[in-house]
Amino acid sequence: MKIKNKKEILKSFFLMVFFLFICSNHGFSIEPNDVKNFSYYLSFYNGKVTLKNGIFRQYGPPDNIVDVKIERYELKDLNHDGINDAVVILVGNYGGSGAFYELTVLLSKGKDIVQTNSVVLGDRIKIEKIFVYPKSRSLVGPPEIEIFALTHKDSDASAFPSKKDVICYSLVKEKLIPCEETPIVKKPALYLYPEKKQTITVRLAPKGDITKTIPPYNGKWIVKVTPTGKINNQYDYLFYEVNLAKPYPLTNAGWVVPYSELSKWFDIYLPKLGLNEKEADDFKNYWLKELKPHKYYEIRYMDKKFLSENLHVDINPKPDTFIRVFLHFKGTNSKQSLTEPQIFKKNRRGFTAVEWGGINTEESERNFSFLATDLGELILREIHIKEHKLYIRVNSKGCTDKSTLKAEVINSPKRVDKDVQHYEITFLRIAPDYCKALFPDGVMMEYDLRKDFGINTKLPYTISVKNLIYPLLPNEPYFEIFPRIEEPIPFTKDTLKEDLIKATIKAIDMEIERYEKSSHSDKKEKISYLQGELKRFKEMSPDSYKLEGKHQDEPLLNFNKFGTLMPPIKRTIEIHVTEPLKVGDLLYYTGMTKSGPFYHLAGISDKIAKAIEKGTYKVKIYLIYKREYFGFIPNYYVFLSDLAK
């Protein structure tokens, strides 16, 4: 009995030591208190914010107020170590009316908690649900975080999001990236054809995460293979999928194939690339199911160097012939021009290994980014090159830097000389800039062609930038910062015509002030015209003001025309009011888009001024002045006359 007790004591001791070893080496589960009292790095704050019970507050002047809190969080094991990590959504107010939502992840690492990057979800959105998948739902990818939220349509006011949206981020190498940007190499299929039945060892060494294997892979495969390629009397090939750490760099070498002709293309080119009939059939049957309908597919043959560096496979004994056919597919609805590459087919001899796979990316319709809050292909304001450095000027609200932009660089076959490399560069905005700083000049971004883009500047080269350029000055109408005029609405008990005249005078005064501060080459002529209009309306009696009839200069029919509208144009809109209305305010209304029309308040009747507080109202407005503005976008000064039924 005593011996048994000693055995039990020793057993308990070793169990305790083992438990302590596991805890010390594998970390601890993150608990709610850890989430609520952590020091977070956020995109909209320079430094850390240390929460206490889920809240951080810093008081000061209006431009130095910081208020951050946890919106919601989920505890999940994301890196498959058996202990909980945390997915956290925080919301911050940094002075003003904005409420900026950010997503981040806390990972348990030994005795520490490590925070990933923080990504901006939007300003004044509404989070409805959050789902966390320790693996992607297809089971072939990294952990995914799916957020159901109300975001903004183009017509939505900032305080009234109405678009049902799903925001998805993947956790790749301790970094959050959009799910659609996660590069997954699909179904590498590895065929083995030894000259005699033998045992073969295969090791995978990709730069990325192996997400799925058949048969199970535990650091290596040790398999018995026949000369016909049958593996362990069960499999035709070894299967795995990889989430790569970086995307495949696209070039202009490849094929553009209509979707309806993919099957025919596979039949012609897969044998040329080295696949036998069975391998080509396996490839074709798999990818025809994977590739969704698009007008065209750009198909690129992935080069040996990329495969060797990012998808290395070690086979022992070493095969006499190793054929690897990896294709990059990009679905698109516009036909691009690619140069067909040369193909050199390998002859099979001795022990042969064959592997095929691919990456599929789909091109959605590309948006353009002009305003700092818009995502898509950047419309630049300025560009120049000096001493192997490229400079671009873009719009900014204070938080635009290289991390919010992305450069797509293609080594193009279009060259002035075969020995002169040519590079095509396209700049994208990948993160919105919701900050509140005033940058009418925009910001200049500097890129080192060698360090940032990998261009060998010691050899001759040419470059072209594919972005559109709109070289506006900061005081051009599109960039004007329209100030709120902190004064009471000067309309009390006047008649409608008198109110409209006074509102028109106010509109002309504001436009004269705007032109005086501008550097327009013809500003003197414009100011002279407006001074004449100012005099005309100041001397105008209510009886002379026309409420109906035709417009003399027809500014509504000519986008180059600007100036007073008499008779005014009457419209009914539904406005959203979040604070007391002031002269110069932009009215936010249902149906408003980034292309306008824009309505700036030049006056309001006493009756409606007293009736309107915060909320949504259907109102009658009069368009009294058409402003000179960007392109065809309509922009007016208006008088708000009455509530509408």
Q: Are 530 and 512 spatial neighbours (Cβ–Cβ below 8 Å)?
A: yes
Tens of pLDDT along 498-514?
A: 999 999 999 999 989 88
| pLDDT score of 556 | 40
Tens of pLDDT along 99-151?
A: 889 999 999 988 889 999 898 888 889 999 898 877 654 444 578 898 988 88
Q: Are strands 598-604 and 635-643 parallel, antiparallel or unpaired?
A: parallel
| pLDDT score of 595 | 65
| pLDDT score of 481 | 46
CA 347 vs CA 197, 269, 274, 344, 436: distances in Å: 22, 16, 8, 10, 63
Q: Record the pTM.
A: 0.43
Angle 150-152-156 (CA atoms, 0-180°, nearest 5)? 120
> What is the Cα–Cα distance from 623 to 564, expressed in whole angstroms?
9
Q: Closest Cα partner for 315 from 408, 241, 396, 221?
A: 221
> What is the Cα–Cα distance from 615 to 157, expressed in whole angstroms?
12
Q: Cα 430 from chain centroid?
A: 4
Residue with tokens 């992607």: 136
Q: Closest Cα partner for 410 from 301, 253, 182, 257?
A: 253
Sign of the C-alpha dihedral computed for residues 522, 524, 525 and 529 taken in this order: positive
pLDDT less than 70: residues of the chain:
1-27, 46, 60-64, 95-97, 135-141, 154-155, 180-187, 362-367, 413-414, 436, 438, 473-494, 519-521, 550-561, 593-595, 630-632
Q: How many CB atoms lie within 10 A of CB 354?
A: 23
| pLDDT score of 46 | 65
Residues ≥6 apart with Cβ < 8 Å to 190:
202, 237, 238, 239, 240, 313, 353, 354, 355
Termini Cα distance of the chain: 94
Starting at the earlier edge strand, list the strands of the sheet with 198-206.
221-225, 198-206, 311-316
> What is the Cα–Cα distance from 339 to 415, expressed in whole angstroms?
12
| pLDDT score of 321 | 95
Residues ≥6 apart with Cβ < 8 Å to 401:
445
